[in-house]
Structure 1
């Protein structure tokens, strides 16, 4: 019998919390069943399998990130918008490491179409309009920003900057200054 109150959404939220606690790779339907003190089989009326659970967590994380990004960008332009958007990703990864890892999950085409991934791309392109980039340079810049944000955050979360001066906050700030300068002076092909 399915425990009252369990829904796919509630399970995804609980899975996201579990991911932040133990790591996204450690999230399974079995671990989630233990959290709710139910049999694994009772969760299968809401979830197809562990991949479905992980996809739902990824979709939740992408939605949360997009909501935060939209709020941070409201009324901002240029360097201020770039910094606000970048800080959203860094702060989210620090606050929710498991969810941040989930947001990197490669989604199948159907899930990707239903995700907030498109909102992320639209926000990034909105920032870039302040730098007067046209295609294909805008696409190159979207990829550059995503690579820098994710790369920096991933290295920082793994302790890559913890044993040397200057501190990582100063390097983050300088990195964003450098990105702003690059975007304002985008090289011609």
Structure 2
């Protein structure tokens, strides 16, 4: 076992490989090669490929949360939600492999993965507080926001936006239209 090797270092290397070569290309053999160790040594840090994928999914969601927080610092209201959307999509642009890992957790009910995901949801709920939505409606609003940014990022990742119009302008348009709808719901709850 290489001295100084820990699970975090293993996950960082796995993330680099996934982002550079694609999540589906990630293997224990390629990871061991990247870390300059023998494949069996990885079992000291992850429980095989399923364990690596599960740990990488949680790692990815935590990295996403960090990117979202960085993107919204100093902002509030609509500005913060626009910033969050762009931070989300930019994260996927920069980290396509680990983003895919976050969507493919072997056990989506794993407590660590659930905690990481809940933290992202709570962040968005806090940003939605300016709309003074009822708690249940706030959850609907968060689900809508996540659906928009995930859908946009996923389509872009798969090269589905081929018309020569700014993708960033399209994202801004989508979020603006969505937030107008949320604002309307907050002012007209019935």
TM-score, scaled relative to structure 2: 0.90
Could you say which residue in structure 2 is the equivalent of 1:37?
Answer: 36
Could you say which residue in structure 1 is the equivalent of 2:157?
Answer: 157
Instruction: Count residues with an aligned counterpart.
Output: 186
* CA deviation after TM superposition for structure 1 residue 112, in Å: 2.4
Give me the whole-angstrom Cα distance separating, in 2, the residues matched to 1:110 and 1:176. 31
Could you say which residue in structure 2 is the equivalent of 1:67?
Answer: 66
SS in 2 for 1:19: helix
Give me the whole-angstrom Cα distance separating, in 2, the residues matched to 1:156 and 1:138. 27
- The 5-angstrom pairing of residues 106-185 of structure 1 reads 106=105, 107-113=108-114, 115-162=115-162, 164-185=163-184
Q: Which runs of 4+ in 1 moved over 4 A?
A: none
* CA deviation after TM superposition for structure 1 residue 165, in Å: 4.0
Unaligned stretches of 5+ residues in structure 2: none
Could you say which residue in structure 2 is the equivalent of 1:8?
Answer: 7
Cα deviation 1:119-151 (Å, max 9, x = unaligned): 211111011111121132111111111111100
Cα contact 1:20–1:99 (8 A) shared by 2: yes
Cα contact 1:30–1:40 (8 A) shared by 2: yes
TM-score, scaled relative to structure 1: 0.90
CA RMSD of aligned residues (A): 1.7
SS in 2 for 1:116: helix
Cα contact 2:13–2:35 (8 A) shared by 1: no
- The 5-angstrom pairing of residues 74-93 of structure 1 reads 74-93=73-92
